[in-house]
Every structure is written in structure tokens, then in C-alpha cells.
Structure 1
Amino acid sequence: MAVIELKKNISYIEPTQNPLSANVVMIEGENNLWLYDVGNNPCVPQIISAFNTSNKKINVILSHFHADHIGNLDKINYSNVYQGRLTYKYTKTGEILENDLYFRDGNMNLHIFPLPSSHAKGSLALEINEKYCFLGDGVYAMQKGEKRLYNAGILKEEIEILKNIKAQHFMLSHRNPFDNSKDSVIRLLDGIYAKRKSGEPYISGIDGE
């Protein structure tokens, strides 16, 4: 598993398929190491420990409650955890976040915000320095039987929130490339929303993640 640098002080651990494990983002602040998701691959905690050479306090932001994003939480020596209410039901630790939260840590400006998502209720996204926005699985569909579906109302709300984000780089977990332009993601979501049918709550026939 490689550690890839996006920009000075912003890196991520590559995702894996077996076991399924999401991208783990590492943001080096002046006083803290911030993690966006912790993955599920058993190698991740050791990689984080080796990366944290200054032994900074670790703060964790969890995008949502699926195991490939939170599985390693109990194996990491963290100080704080930020998550949505539904994720807290799984972790039973840390803080529940239901409104935008801002931190400044040296040269890192962090904006954590709730993201309406068909994939998982209570998702959180993370914007860094108004340049990168980490979305986890937030823009993906839900799995319902053999179908992948978007909730039309939630999708509309999500699109409006993302259009107001200043960052131009949208980072999508499990996706290669990880880094996608804001415009391309908005076009994708707008195209999906345009397929909605009047009176139907879900948009079906979508090849999602």
C-alpha cells in the first residue's frame, strides 16, 4: 500500500479491494495529524504510525459508517473523532457533527461539513484550504437489491451544497483517479438528476460505485 502525496502536508494511503478499504487521507497540521477515514486494511495503522514521525496528536474525521472507512478506528491512538450521528451509533466514541465546523492548524484550514448522500445517511465531507474537497463515498448511489439508486430529493440538496464549495478538486474514495475536477463531478450529478421521473422518489438505472 503506497502513500501518495497530493501536495505538501496532504497525502493519502491507497485503497485496497481485498480487504475492501477506502482511501485514508493524512493532513499534517502544525499541531495535529488529521485523518479523513481510517480504512479497513490491517496495514493502515502501522503506515499511519510510521508516517507520524513527529508523534503529533491524531484527530479523525469519518466520512460515514461503512466498515471500509471506519474498520481501523479502534487500532489507532486518536485524540478526537468527528462523525455524523449515524456513524456514532457504530463507533460510540467522539463528537457528533451536524453543522459546519472549521479548524485552523498552522497552514491547514479545515472545513468539515455534513453532506446529504444517497449512499449513506449522516455523511461528512472535508474541504482543505478551499482547494481540495474529500467526499468519501458521498456522491455514490445506494445499493437496493440489484439496483443502484439515488434519492432524488437528497441528490438535489447535495448538488446545491457542492456547487457552493470553493475547492476545485473533488476527491472520490475508491475512484481512480482519486482527484476529479469539481466541474466533472457536478456535471455527473446534474446528469443523473436530469433522469428523474416526476412523482418517483428514486432515480434508477444508474451505474454507481
Structure 2
Amino acid sequence: MQDKIQLNSDKNNIPMWRNITDKISYITPTMQPLSANVCVIEGEDYLWVYDVGKNSFVSDMLSKISQEKGKDIKIVLSHFHPDHIANLQYIKWSKLYQGKNTYKYTHIGEVVEEEIRIDKSEANLSIFPMPSSHAKGSLALMADETYCLLGDALYPAHKGNKTVYNAGMVKQQIDLLNKIPASYILLSHREPFVQKKQAVIAWLCEIYSKREKNQPWIDAGNV
């Protein structure tokens, strides 16, 4: 597994629907504008949307599927970066979940600081905080104890002129992923979007192995 963000290469930058299961689908990411994967999980009563992207087509695509299914939208935001939240103002939703840091940018909705479990009829969803070098206050969304969406949580951060991982955060990520029952991890901007959890853990372990004694940061350029 390469430590590299592989963006949608569609030259027209028009997002498209892709199916993962009969109840889980996503809108593909684009490069211009930079817009993250937007995942939709169909519950009995609601459509659960993880991230809303920045591409202007996304809001219409979500509105259309909401009308077709006759179900309102509930949103979970992975973190505060514009390519994940910019369309929020254009989408009709009934509930919004986000981390405390993301709330500083949205000023609306519910802040999640500990795990929330949603009724089993709603795809047995679990929303929980995810440690991240990339974005403070990230949230994960797990569906049916099988698929876990992480947004950009596992990616590095920019510190000065370097791209780095926080060694402590990487260790926390490894420990958390080992504990959750999900078999698959979904990482934004990456192809394939759905990754086997053990491959993701192995990738993180490789990053963690590059840490230097008494150094809190791991240089992503050395990974």
C-alpha cells in the first residue's frame, strides 16, 4: 500500500456514482476542484452521508437520491477541510455530526466527542473520534461492523516545509483499527477506495517503524 493520494483522473472532473454494496455507495472524488469521496449509506429511514465534498455537482446528486429514496439526509463530517465540507450550505439535511474542531468552521450541528451508536435499522452505524496527524478532531463512521470510513484521518500533516506523521497518533490509529470489527477501511482520495483493514494496518506499522528515538514526528519523505 503506497503512501500516496491517488486522485480521480476523470479529465472532465464530473463525479460519478459507484456502488460498494446494495446499501452503500459513493460519489467519486475530483481533482478540479479538489473534492473528496462522498459516501452514502442507506438506512431504513435515512440516508447517511459521510462528507459532502466541494464539487458543485455533489449537492444535486444527493438531492436527487434523497428524493428518489424518499429519505432525509443525515451528515457525518470527517474533518474541517474544504474538500470535505464545502457543499454543506447547499444540502438539505436533518442532522449533522462532526468533531469539535470542525464545528469551529460550520457553527451548526452536533459535536461528537465519544462514540455514538445508531439504531441497527440504520445500518448498525457507529460514529467515533479518530486520532489523526492530518486533521484534529476527525470522525470515523463504521457501517454494519464491516466498512469503516476514515476520510483523510490516516494521512500526514504539513509542519513547516515538511510532511510529517505524529508518531503517537500513528500508534493510536494502529491500536484502534486492531480493536474495531470492520474488515474494510475506506480512505478518501485513494484508489481503490475500499481497502482491506489488515493492509491498512500493515501500512501504518511500516510508517511507525520509521520513527526515531525521542522524536515525536515521522518524516513522510522517509516512509
- Paired residues of 1:114 and 1:122 also in contact (CA < 8 A): yes
Residue aligning to 2:101: 86
- 1:113 & 1:3 partners in 2: Cα distance? 26
Pick from 18, 22, 27: which aligns with 1:8? 22
- 2:63 & 2:72 partners in 1: Cα distance? 11
- 1:28 & 1:107 partners in 2: Cα distance? 7
- 1:45 & 1:205 partners in 2: Cα distance? 34
Using the aligned pairs only, state the percent identity. 49
Residue aligning to 2:207: 192
Offset of residue 159 of structure 1: 1.2
- 2:64 & 2:93 partners in 1: Cα distance? 15
- Paired residues of 2:45 and 2:122 also in contact (CA < 8 A): no
Q: Name which of structure 1's ranges 96-105 and 72-81 shifts more when overlaid on structure 2.
A: 96-105
Amino acid at match of 1:166: P
- 1:40 & 1:120 partners in 2: Cα distance? 17
Residue aligning to 1:121: 136
Amino acid at match of 1:96: V
- 1:182 & 1:207 partners in 2: Cα distance? 23
Q: Which runs of 5+ in 1 are unaligned?
A: none
- Paired residues of 1:118 and 1:154 also in contact (CA < 8 A): yes
The normalised TM-score by structure 2 is 0.90
The normalised TM-score by structure 1 is 0.96
Q: Which has the higher helix share?
A: 2
Structure 1 residues 205 and 57, CA gap change in structure 2 (3 angstroms): closer
Offset of residue 107 of structure 1: 5.7
Q: Which runs of 5+ in 2 are unaligned?
A: 1-14
Residue aligning to 2:6: none
Amino acid at match of 1:134: L
Residue 180 of structure 2 is aligned to residue 161 of structure 1: no
Residue aligning to 2:161: 146
Q: Please, what is the CA RMSD of the aligned residues? A: 1.3
Residue aligning to 2:11: none
- Paired residues of 2:165 and 2:220 also in contact (CA < 8 A): no
**Structure 1 stretches of at least 4 aligned residues deviating more than 3 Å after TM superposition:** 205-208
Amino acid at match of 2:207: I
- Paired residues of 1:30 and 1:105 also in contact (CA < 8 A): no
Residue 64 of structure 2 is aligned to residue 50 of structure 1: yes
- 1:207 & 1:64 partners in 2: Cα distance? 26
- 1:120 & 1:55 partners in 2: Cα distance? 34
- 1:134 & 1:184 partners in 2: Cα distance? 15
User: How many equivalent pairs are there?
Assistant: 208
